């Protein structure tokens, strides 16, 4: 479906009794144009008949960061305290926004709850989300504040070596604000959170959400925000360091991975996915634990791989797949992502993920 069709379909899912005139007004188009989009949705099978009976997965909500990424990749090995020849990359980022972007490329309907300033970066983020079909109407625009910025330096292989982030604006995503968005969150198929938002807001979502919660720990320090709410998480995707923080287990080998995952399960997490970079993912739930290895691949940049992995997991859940198939979709999405120097690979698609994972998505 096109971005405009996705937008109209979302409004119909939220209000099956909405009229063509109301749809046209919301979209800023003529009623006849709205009728054409509805006809196309019916032909494609998303709308089954009169009364706007719909078919297909409902939306997922993402609560987290949206910022500008400014990156640098040197031509050769980094030299400390010197100017290194290389190239710079300016892109739209933020863990939450990246996950939402990947989900849209995979065909999912997404509503993003984030906070932005009143600067030019906010305008760029807003326009991009509009073009992608990511709903932003429940996000905050904060006057006299700067949009979040993430600055990183990678090594010659594309692996991040150093980063600095200015994400103070997310303090405006308070529990009080989230309380006004609970209906939005609870009506979705799932909610993805990243820990750029305040700890009290993480707790509020986890206590109040009726939708399954997928959590991205973001970093070792920010992962600590999840410690009080592990029993509320349907899925969590820590890397090895973050898994150590969450479980209290020092991970040196495969036996430690099993121990760490078991601790997280005992603490109440339903599904654990410990990402191990080029090696693969260690997966665990109450019935099985296993290491899902991946084939070695040349990476243009590993930045953004975790965001794509989370999007693949979410897609798998929305398609009602099990833990192994979810992880396979996540790995496939991450594999496509690292083939591009961009944080988001525009070539990502449900069809390509399905092909690489060897899973037929219905």
At 164 the pLDDT is 87
Give the CA-trace dihedral at 96, 97, 98, 103, to 10 degrees: 90
Query: Does residue 17 carry a pLDDT above 90?
Result: no
Query: Does residue 55 carry a pLDDT above 60?
Result: no
The rounded mean pLDDT for the chain is: 91
Average pLDDT over residues 279-300: 90
Beta bridge partners of 54: 47
Could you tell me the pTM of the whole model? 0.79
Residue 14 pLDDT grade (very low, low, confident, very high; cuts 50, 70, 90): low
CATH placement of domain 3-54? 1.10.10.10
Backbone angles phi, psi at 69, to 5 degrees: -95, 130
Residue 272 pLDDT grade (very low, low, confident, very high; cuts 50, 70, 90): very high
At 201 the pLDDT is 98
Domain segments of the chain as ranges: 3-54, 60-68+93-147+167-357
Number of H helices, E strands in the chain: 14, 16
Beta-strand pair 149-154/160-166: antiparallel
Backbone angles phi, psi at 115, to 5 degrees: -135, 135
At 39 the pLDDT is 87
Query: Does residue 172 carry a pLDDT above 90?
Result: yes
Average pLDDT over residues 300-318: 92
- DSSP-derived letter for residue 278 is G
Is domain 60-68+93-147+167-357 annotated with CATH 3.40.1190.20? yes
Residue 3 pLDDT grade (very low, low, confident, very high; cuts 50, 70, 90): low
Structural contact between residues 63 and 96, judged by C-beta atoms closer than 8 angstroms: yes
Structure token pair of residue 247: 């479980």
Query: Does residue 246 carry a pLDDT above 60?
Result: yes
Q: What is the pLDDT of residues 194-233, one digit of tens each?
A: 999 999 999 999 999 989 999 999 999 999 999 999 999 9
| Burial (0-12, 13-18, 19+ Cβ within 10 Å), 338 | buried
Q: Among 104-108, 132-136, 239-243, 301-305, name the one with the lowest average pLDDT.
A: 301-305
More confident residue, 52 or 107: 107
Structure token pair of residue 235: 């899925």
User: Where do the DSSP E strands lie in 144-188?
Assistant: 149-154, 160-166
Query: Does residue 1 carry a pLDDT above 80?
Result: no
At 57 the pLDDT is 45
Query: Does residue 152 carry a pLDDT above 80?
Result: yes
More confident residue, 91 or 194: 194
| Burial (0-12, 13-18, 19+ Cβ within 10 Å), 69 | buried
At 56 the pLDDT is 46
Query: Does residue 145 carry a pLDDT above 90?
Result: yes
C-beta neighbour count of 237 within 10 angstroms: 24
Average pLDDT over residues 249-271: 97
Residue 72 pLDDT grade (very low, low, confident, very high; cuts 50, 70, 90): very high
Q: Among 13-17, 104-108, 162-166, name the one with the lowest average pLDDT.
A: 13-17
């Amino acid at each position: 479906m096109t971005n405009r069709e996705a937008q109209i379909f979302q409004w119909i899912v939220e209000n099956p009794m909405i009229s063509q005139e109301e749809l046209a007004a919301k979209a800023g188009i003529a009623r006849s144009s709205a009728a054409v989009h509805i006809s196309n949705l019916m032909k494609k099978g998303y709308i089954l008949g009169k009364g706007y009976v719909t078919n297909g997965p409902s939306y997922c909500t993402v609560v987290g960061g949206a910022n500008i990424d400014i990156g640098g990749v040197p031509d050769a090995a980094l030299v400390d305290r010197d100017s290194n020849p290389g190239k710079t990359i300016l892109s739209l980022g933020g863990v939450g926004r990246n996950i939402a972007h990947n989900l849209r490329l995979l065909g999912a309907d997404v509503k993003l709850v984030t906070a932005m300033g009143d600067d030019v970066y906010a305008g760029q983020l807003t326009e991009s989300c509009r073009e992608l079909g990511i709903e932003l109407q429940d996000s905050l625009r904060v006057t006299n504040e700067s949009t979040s910025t993430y600055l990183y330096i990678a090594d010659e292989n594309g692996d991040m070596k150093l980063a600095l982030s200015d994400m103070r604006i997310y303090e405006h995503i308070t529990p009080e604000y989230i309380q006004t968005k609970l209906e939005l969150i609870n009506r979705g198929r799932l909610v993805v959170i990243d820990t750029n938002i305040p700890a009290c807001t993480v707790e509020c979502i986890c206590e109040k959400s009726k939708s399954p919660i997928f959590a991205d720990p973001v970093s070792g320090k920010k992962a600590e925000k999840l410690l009080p709410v592990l029993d509320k998480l349907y899925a969590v995707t820590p890397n090895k360091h973050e898994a150590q923080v969450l479980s209290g287990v020092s991970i040196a080998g495969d036996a430690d991975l099993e121990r760490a995952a078991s601790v997280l399960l005992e603490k109440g997490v339903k599904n654990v996915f410990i990402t191990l970079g080029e090696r693969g993912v260690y997966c665990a739930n109450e019935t099985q634990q296993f290491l899902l290895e991946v084939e070695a691949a040349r990476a243009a940049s590993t930045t953004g791989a975790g965001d794509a992995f989370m999007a693949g997991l979410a897609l798998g859940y929305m398609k009602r797949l099990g833990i192994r198939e979810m992880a396979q979709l996540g790995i496939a999405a991450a594999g496509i992502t690292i083939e591009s120097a961009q944080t988001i690979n525009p070539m990502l698609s449900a069809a390509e993920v399905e092909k690489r994972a060897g899973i037929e998505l219905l």
